[in-house]
Amino acid sequence: MLIRFEGSVSREWKAALNKRLAGLLPGAKARPSAGGLLLSGFAPALAADAVPLLENMPGVLEVKLALEELCPLACAAGTRHPPARPLDFRRGFIFIAGPCAVEEEASYLASALALKAAGAHALRAALFKPRSSPYAFQGVGFAGLKIIAKAKKLTGLPLVTEATDTRQIERLASVCDVLQMGARNMRNYELLKEAARSGRAVLLKRAMRATLKEWLLSAEYLLMHGAKNLMLCERGDAVFSSDSPGLDFAMLREAKRTTGLPVLADPSHSTRDRALACAMALKAARAGADGLLIEASAEPQTARVDGRQTLTVESFSGLTGAILCKKKR
Ligand code: PEP
Ligand code: MN
């Protein structure tokens, strides 16, 4: 923790600060640092509430916490042995593929089988869709549970599904292997807590424009509330255009470096176009992503949601081949 002062400070003021520090952060050791004091040796769990109280002191310019102090569990997450199920990232690049939303049974099952044959390790199985328009298709809801359960039985592949409400978690977790916390819900802390308690693996997307710190604090919520198997997913800040890079690869690498967790990339929602998504997926693999969460299906042209960014099975198959072939070299 770095406490920066406004200019020089009196001895009485320092004594008042030390008194406050002893109360707020017992055991903290302070040493002088440029323009202030650097604190170590305190319990990170006490730091978040200490910061505003220290900032309240006249003469304090700012109080800053390092990422390891803000989210100690997330920063140490990679030191735990990574679970091999439902997705084994140690064995190589992971493809999670499927349509944007589960719609009709026959086409979902056809997609599931074809995507497995083309190299998918898990299926996108979204029953609840967070849509910008309340008039737009919101997903088939729980009626789709029997469809995705059939796909799981047929393919043997794990299911990745987005939960948009705490009340969905229990039923989704009874069938699905990974609960996706979507970009819009990265900051829905009650949802994160409930997903963590379910015991299922959790995939946490970065919200648009969220900083690394905000993303990792959301990961901290999940880990603190019992998530044992966590993966992150970079989904970009905005829709791809000539002046927007789509995915933030520097952020992706930094998330991997600081947490040691697997970090996937979503090239579909960051580009909104299937040709661009393919190119972005290749870039993501080169940039160090551990896998992809990508929209692909047997019938993108009939999809009610995101059809234009959904890869055909043929292009998904070409993509898995290209990525795996490059990784082997
Ligand atoms: C999704 O992956 O289905 C999705 C809705 O993406 P995002 O949360 O990144 O918008
Ligand atoms: Mn989509």
Whether residue 145 is found in the same domain as residue 33: no
Specify whether 61 is located in the same domain as 89.
Answer: no
Last residue of a domain, one of 36, 65, 94: 65
Contact 141, 128 (CB under 8 A): yes
At 239 the pLDDT is 65
Domain end among 16, 31, 65? 65
Mark whether 178 and 52 lie in a shared domain. no
pLDDT at 318: 98
- Please indicate, yes or no, if residue 76 is contained in any of the structural domains: no
Dihedral sign, Cα of residue 94, residue 199, residue 185, residue 156:
positive
> Are both 238 and 140 inside the same structural domain?
yes
Residue 170 and residue 271 share a domain: yes
Indicate if ligand 1 lies below 6 Å from the C-beta of 256: no
Residue 7 is predicted with a pLDDT of: 82
Do 179 and 320 sit in the same domain of this protein? yes
Alpha carbon nearest to ligand 1 atom 9, residue: 183
Asked if 159 contacts 175 with a C-beta cutoff of 8 angstroms, the reply is: yes
Nearby residues for ligand 2 (ion, Cβ within 5 Å): 100, 306
CB distance 206 to ligand 1 below 6 Å: no
Mean pLDDT of each 10-residue bin along the chain, 329 residues long: 90 91 95 92 94 94 96 94 91 97 98 98 98 97 98 98 98 98 98 98 97 98 97 87 78 98 96 94 97 98 97 98 87
307 Cα–ligand 1 center, Å: 14
What was the pLDDT predicted at 244?
63
Whether residue 257 lies inside any domain: the answer is yes
Q: Which residue's CA lies nearest to atom 2 of ligand 1?
A: 182
**87 and 135 housed in the same domain:** yes
Residue carrying the six token digits 């109360």: 23
In terms of domains, do 228 and 174 share one? Answer: yes
| Domains in the chain, number | 2
Q: Is 246 in the pocket of ligand 1 (CB under 6 A)?
A: no
Exposed/middle/buried for 29, CB within 10 Å: 0-12, 13-18, 19+? exposed
Q: Please tell me the distance between residue 291's alpha carbon and the centre of ligand 1 in angstroms.
A: 16
Ligand nearest to the CA of 270: 1
Q: Given ligand 1 and candidates 235, 270, 297, 306, which is best to mutate, with the most ligand atoms within 8 Å of its CB?
A: 235
What pLDDT sits at residue 288?
97
205 lines ligand 1 (CB under 6 A): yes
The CA-atom distances, in angstroms, between 205 and each of 80, 230, 242 are 21, 11, 24
- Domain membership of residue 75 (yes or no) is no
Quote the CA–CA distance of 93 and 329 in Å, as a whole number. Answer: 14
Quick check: is 118 in a domain?
Answer: yes
With respect to residue 191, please indicate whether it lies within any of the assigned structural domains.
Answer: yes
- Is 322 exposed, middle or buried, given 0-12, 13-18 or 19+ CB atoms closer than 10 A? middle
Based on the fold, state whether residues 190 and 243 are members of the same structural domain. Answer: yes
| Whether 41 and 186 share a structural domain | no
Residue 178: CB within 6 Å of ligand 1? no
Question: Do 98 and 50 share a structural domain?
Answer: no
Within-domain flag for 110: yes
- Residue 9: its pLDDT value, please? 82
pLDDT at residue number 246: 86
Write the DSSP string, 129-172.
Answer: ---SSTTS----GGGGHHHHHHHHHHH---EEEE--SGGGHHHH
| CATH number where 321 lies | 3.20.20.70
Between CA 195 and CA 181 the distance in angstroms is: 8
Q: Does a structural domain hold residue 73?
A: no
pLDDT at 327: 79
In a domain, 307, yes or no: yes
Q: Cβ(269) to ligand 1 under 6 A?
A: yes
The one-letter amino acid at 55? E
DSSP character string of 28-92: -EEEEETTEEEEESS-HHHHHHHHHHHHTSTTEEEEE--HHHH-HHHHHGGGSPPP-SS--GGGS
pLDDT tens digits for range 98-113:
999 999 999 999 999 9
Q: Which residue segment(s) compose the domain that 56 sits in?
A: 2-65
Domain identity same for 242 and 103: yes
Residue nearest to ligand 1 atom 10, measured at CA: 183
